[in-house]
Amino acid sequence: MNSLLKWAVGLLVLFSVLLNLALIVGYSRRTPTCATRSVHAPKGKHEARSRVFADLSRDEYAQVQDYMLRQKELNISTRQSTRPDENFLFLIDLRVPAKSEVLAHLDAHGPAPRREATVVVFHGSTGFIKEYVVGPLPKPSDHRDVTAQDYKAELPLSARPVTIGEYILIFKLLEQRVFLPLAKVLHESFGADHKHRLNAFEQMPRGVRSGERKTWISFFRDQSGMYIQPAGFEVLLNHLSTDPSQWSVERLLYNGQYFESVNALLDAYRAGSVQKLSASPWEDYGSLKPRSRPLQVGPQLVSPEGPRYSVSHNHVLYMDWSFAFGLSSLTGMRVFDVRFKDERVLYELSVQEAMSVYGSVTPGMGMTKFLDSSIGIGRFAHELVRGVDCPYEATYVDTYRYIDVAEAGRYRNSICVFELSLGQPLRRHFADFFSHSYGGMVNSALVFRTITAIGNYDYMWDFIFYQSGAVEAKVHATGYISSSFLVAGSLKHGHQVAHNVLGNIHTHFINFKVDLDVAALRLICLSSMSHMSQLYVLQSELYQTVVVKREQRLQ
């Protein structure tokens, strides 16, 4: 009897240990239920027909690439190191179907428009850029050249953006024809050597006349925040030819003085007829590491009953709102078929362009007008960091892109969606005259966000859907300012932000496309904003304050 009891107790203990283990393993795998599941079903239904706006999937990119490679007469290469004189498959992106076809599908239950891709090929062998439409997806069977129809002109190869393949050749040229012969100058002037490298940051446009391809390249110390670490050295590279042996360094700027060739600078330096710079120690003032520890964890966003929105494929439901979304590699994020209480209020709201125009006495920054869509805006929508870029509990969406690559890539968590409490009632009244009463309404809004880091700048793009029926398109810029080496006359074009560093004056222009479908909508749209880079090195709160104030004025 005694031994039987012992056995029973032993088995019970073993069973309880196993059960505990199973429960611990089971529960620790679950994410917190309060943020992932909604207590109430969303008001509307997800619209499957919204797929007409969906970006291409990884399979679709591969199908289009395969199709293009099968067209032997096009002789296309997909290597990332493709040379400028070869034919390179640069871009594959969704060809958004015509609005009339989409509306027939959405509203009149017409057939789904043909799903097609836009394909851009740099024909290095013939000297032209071509845009093709390839379809129908998923199994493409034909392509047509739409360059003449879409651009009303032939597009010369010189107008193409610089690809990885061309960068490889540019960096090789700089190494062999600039850094090597000038090693002593660069070491004595900037402390550059094998361990202390100089990085190139190029300016735009690449020339002043149509057909030119000449780029001023400014050099920066290879340290964190290189954009505010300028060395006093810039070169003008002519890289028009598809044969890199024909490229030439046409001018150089050293400490504010111009030279017509590398040899001319060398000779003047040796003869002592140039105002020499002497290397100062490299200081790490551009680091993003916090300067002090935060006091404690800040407030967090919590949805006790789960999210009040729902994301399915490329479609979002939120209270009275619904919309489809996508991300173009070139222009950036976009939403389509935006409905409020089932009524379409916007057919399209999309980012189109982010331009910045700079002033400087130095040629690099002085010439610069960045037209970011020419490099690609959506292309730089990288992973968003939970709890910093978006709230922890936000919904994160992956995107897939094909631009200047050998195969389509996945960009994890590059879009986030969340509902935000606005911290102020939508409306309220407290009656203290005649009678006493109070009525107030909590206010919150849905945020659809991407952040694109285009070189020095990080643009934080928000489309915000308010319960009042308003939509806001908003952008904040952060990251690093663009800077140049301080020379005589520089201070007319900005403010000094560090030793020998000028934060150049500049203006941002931001363009959105708004295709409004009803008159009743209150739409807040920023079309342009400007600011001067003032007395700060990192763009931070101060900068945001400036932007927010301007936004308020525009509203």
Q: Which residues are marked as active site? A: 372, 457
Task: Provide, rounded to whole angstroms, the least separation between the CB of residue 76 and ligand NAG.
Answer: 8
Task: Provide, rounded to whole angstroms, the least separation between the CB of residue 86 and ligand NAG.
Answer: 4
360 binds ligand NAG (CB under 6 A): no
If the CB atoms of residues 16 and 75 are measured against ligand NAG, the closer one turns out to be: 75
From candidates 16, 20, 71, 75, binder to ligand NAG by CB under 6 A: 75
Task: Provide, rounded to whole angstroms, the least separation between the CB of residue 245 and ligand NAG.
Answer: 17
Task: Provide, rounded to whole angstroms, the least separation between the CB of residue 104 and ligand NAG.
Answer: 42
If the CB atoms of residues 36 and 75 are measured against ligand NAG, the closer one turns out to be: 75
If the CB atoms of residues 77 and 350 are measured against ligand NAG, the closer one turns out to be: 77
C-alpha distance from residue 190 to each of 181, 183, 200, 280, 471 (Å): 15, 10, 14, 7, 50
Written in H, E and C, the secondary structure of 171-207 is HHHHHHHHHCCCHHHHHHHHCCCCCCCEEEEECCCCC
Sequence-distant (≥ 6) Cβ neighbours of residue 527 within 8 angstroms = 509, 510, 511, 512
Sequence-distant (≥ 6) Cβ neighbours of residue 512 within 8 angstroms = 349, 350, 351, 352, 473, 525, 526, 527
Residue closest to 221 by CA, chosen among 193, 202, 259: 193
Diameter of the chain measured on Cα atoms: 108
∠ CA 267-270-272, nearest 5°, is 105
* Rg (the chain; Cα; Å): 28
Q: H or E segment at 103?
A: helix 99-107
From candidates 86, 222, 353, 517, binder to ligand NAG by CB under 6 A: 86
Task: Provide, rounded to whole angstroms, the least separation between the CB of residue 71 and ligand NAG.
Answer: 12
Sequence-distant (≥ 6) Cβ neighbours of residue 320 within 8 angstroms = 43, 340, 341, 467, 469
If the CB atoms of residues 75 and 287 are measured against ligand NAG, the closer one turns out to be: 75
406 binds ligand NAG (CB under 6 A): no
77 binds ligand NAG (CB under 6 A): yes
If the CB atoms of residues 75 and 312 are measured against ligand NAG, the closer one turns out to be: 75
CB 68 within 8 A of CB 76: yes
Task: Give the integer Cα–Cα distance in Å for 242 and 126.
Answer: 10
If the CB atoms of residues 84 and 376 are measured against ligand NAG, the closer one turns out to be: 84
205 preceded by a cis bond (ω within 30 of 0) = yes
At residue 105, what are phi and psi to the nearest 5 degrees?
A: -75, -45
- Write out the residues near ligand NAG by the rule CB under 6 A: 75, 77, 86
